[in-house]
Amino acid sequence: MNLRDLLQGRTTLAKERGLSDACLTALQHDAINLWANGRSDDALILLRGLRALDPTHLVTLRLLGQLLAERGVGQEALIYLDQALKMRSNSPSLRVTRAQLRLAIGKDIRGAIHDLQIAADHKGTAFGDHAHILLRKIASGPQPT
């Protein structure tokens, strides 16, 4: 294993250990099943392990963000969602998820609105439509300061 490549992000531990995307996906599904069955502590451990294997895997970052948000660890959740959005900035699902988290914790309301506006550009998709609904709710309520 070339440690320099690993430290500089040119490779991942998953690649170095020969773990395929299918293997990572299967482990992500295991984490989802754990979470769905009320074992969020175990799901979080598994997801953190997956992130150690591949810190740039979009689905792992998204799941970590969502699980941590659900557990009330909003600041850490935002870190993972921000990382995921750096890789896929046009993802309406990531934009809506981050906007909802920002609104829930009262952090960067203008940023949340911006995320929703970008997601709303994806008309006819579930997340695009959801973004439109959230924007209408925000517009009818108190304005952000």
**pLDDT at 17 exceeding the cut of 90:** no
In angstroms, the CA 51 to CA 106 distance is 27
> What rounded mean pLDDT belongs to the chain?
89
Q: Where are the domains of the chain?
A: 1-74, 89-145
What pLDDT does 19 receive? 78
What pLDDT does 83 receive? 96
Single-letter code of the amino acid located at 110: R
User: Highest mean pLDDT range out of 12-21, 92-101, 133-142?
Assistant: 92-101
What pLDDT does 145 receive? 52
Q: What average pLDDT does range 22-42 have in this prediction?
A: 95
Q: What average pLDDT does range 18-38 have in this prediction?
A: 92
CA angle 43, 101, 133 (to 5 degrees): 120
What pLDDT does 13 receive? 74
What pLDDT does 93 receive? 93
Split at pLDDT 50, 70, 90, the class of 16 is confident
In angstroms, the CA 71 to CA 49 distance is 18
Split at pLDDT 50, 70, 90, the class of 20 is confident
Single-letter code of the amino acid located at 17: R
Q: What average pLDDT does range 15-35 have in this prediction?
A: 89
Q: What average pLDDT does range 63-78 have in this prediction?
A: 94
In angstroms, the CA 133 to CA 32 distance is 27
Q: What average pLDDT does range 69-92 have in this prediction?
A: 94
What pLDDT does 143 receive? 55
Cα first-last separation, the chain = 51
Q: Give the pair of three-digit tokens for residue 44.
A: 């979080």
